[in-house]
Every structure is written in C-alpha cells, then in structure tokens.
C-alpha cells in the first residue's frame, strides 16, 4: 500500500557516525514538519530480522531464556535473529535450530513489523512454525550457539500462559509480544 501523504520532513545533510557489519548509525540534519531545524539520529540495521513462534502439537510455545547484555537483564523471548542477508525463511529455520535444537515441518510467514521505528530502520519477519521435532544436526553446535548467545534455557509454555506472562511483565521483549500478537491474529484467537 502506497502512502502519498507529504511527510513534512526534509533532510539537509547526513553523516555516518558509526558502522559495523550489523548496523549503521547516521546523524541527519533535518527540517521538521513545524519548520524548525534539528538533528535526528537513525540506526539502520544491516539485515532484516526473523522471529519464530514455534508451537507444539500440545499448543505450547517454545521460548528461550537469555541474558541481554544491552539491558543488563534476563529476557524470555521467542527464537529470533538476523537474516544475515539470506532469505527470511532460511534464516528462521536456522535460528530455530540454533537456539532450540528444533526443526519444523510447517512454516507460515504471518506478518512483518518494525522495531523502534522512532529511531531505527529494522524490518522484521514473523513466522509460525509447527510440526516440531529435534533437528538432525550436531548437538554440540547447538549447545555452542546457545552458549555464545547467552541462552540459559529452552522451555515449552502453553499459548495462553505465554499471554499471561506478558500481562504479568514476565515477558517484556516487545518483539516477542508483537510476534505473539501476529500469531494470535493468524490463529483467530483475537478479534
């Protein structure tokens, strides 16, 4: 859907402040919609991300518990990661296997979203994965990936309980919440 409304924003200059293989931080000199001038910092993520809501036949969601260096807190999330330039479905399959040791027979892309779109250009894809089974891969490689990413546990939680965990503040990762909402809508479990 094209949106032809005028934005009111004009960029007069741009400079790169920092870049690595995962992201770029730029600083734009802008004219705001009110006519005033200012500086706008924008983080551009190099590759889209994927979020996988993996569901068991018993209507459980597979969650990972990991320590987030950026926030200094433990977080409960759905498996996720960068596409690293590959097709989103390929990345989703890889992330599920690396983070949980699971593969899925059925995959449906249920939505797209943007993270922190007030400061960041970070496109994301949400997948529902079903027909789960252990991946026929190197168990040591999965353990190494989990250790590298700080994943302390993988658990299966009933779908309704995951939503309750959000309500109780036990899940505070906004992307996990949004991914769960996409899946809930897809499954007809919300309005």
Residues 56 and 41 in one domain: no
User: Has residue 191 been placed in a domain?
Assistant: no
Residue 191 has pLDDT above 80, yes or no: no
Residues 23 and 93 in one domain: no
Model confidence, pTM: 0.91
Residue 150's SS3 state is: coil
**pLDDT, tens only, 49-87:** 999 999 999 999 999 999 999 999 999 999 999 999 999
Residues 101 and 76 in one domain: yes
Cβ–Cβ contacts within 10 Å for residue 69, how many? 8
- CA dist list (Å): 169 to 38, 76, 89, 91, 115: 36, 10, 30, 29, 19
Residues 102 and 24 in one domain: no
pLDDT at 5: 85
Cα 36 from chain centre: 34
Residues 81 and 16 in one domain: no
Q: State the Cα–Cα distance between residues 68 and 147, nearest whole angstrom.
A: 13
The range of the structural domain enclosing residue 165 comes to: 49-114+122-186
Residues 76 and 15 in one domain: no
User: Has residue 4 been placed in a domain?
Assistant: no
Q: State the Cα–Cα distance between residues 35 and 32, nearest whole angstrom.
A: 5
Residues 37 and 131 in one domain: no
CATH of the domain at 108: 3.90.79.10
Number of domains in the chain: 2
Residue 106 has pLDDT above 80, yes or no: yes
Token pair 């059925």 is at which residue? 106
pLDDT at 136: 73
Residues 80 and 127 in one domain: yes
User: Has residue 3 been placed in a domain?
Assistant: no
């Amino acid at each position: 859907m094209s949106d032809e409304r005028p934005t009111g924003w004009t960029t007069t200059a741009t400079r790169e402040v920092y870049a690595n293989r995962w992201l770029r931080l730029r600083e734009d000199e802008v004219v705001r919609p009110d006519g005033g001038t200012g500086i706008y910092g924008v983080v551009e993520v190099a590759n889209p991300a994927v979020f996988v809501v993996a569901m068991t036949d018993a209507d459980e969601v597979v969650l990972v518990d990991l320590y987030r260096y950026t926030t200094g807190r433990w977080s409960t999330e759905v498996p996720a990661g960068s596409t690293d330039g590959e097709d989103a479905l390929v990345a989703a399959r890889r992330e599920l296997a690396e983070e949980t040791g699971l593969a899925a027979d059925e995959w449906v892309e249920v939505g797209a979203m943007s993270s922190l779109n007030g400061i960041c250009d970070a496109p994301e894809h949400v997948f529902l994965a079903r027909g789960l089974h252990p991946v026929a891969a190197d168990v040591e490689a999965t353990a190494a990936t989990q250790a590298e990413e700080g994943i302390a546990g993988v658990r299966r939680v009933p779908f309704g309980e995951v939503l309750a965990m959000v309500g109780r503040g036990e899940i505070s990762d906004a992307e996990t919440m949004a991914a769960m909402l996409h899946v809930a809508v897809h499954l007809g479990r919300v309005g």
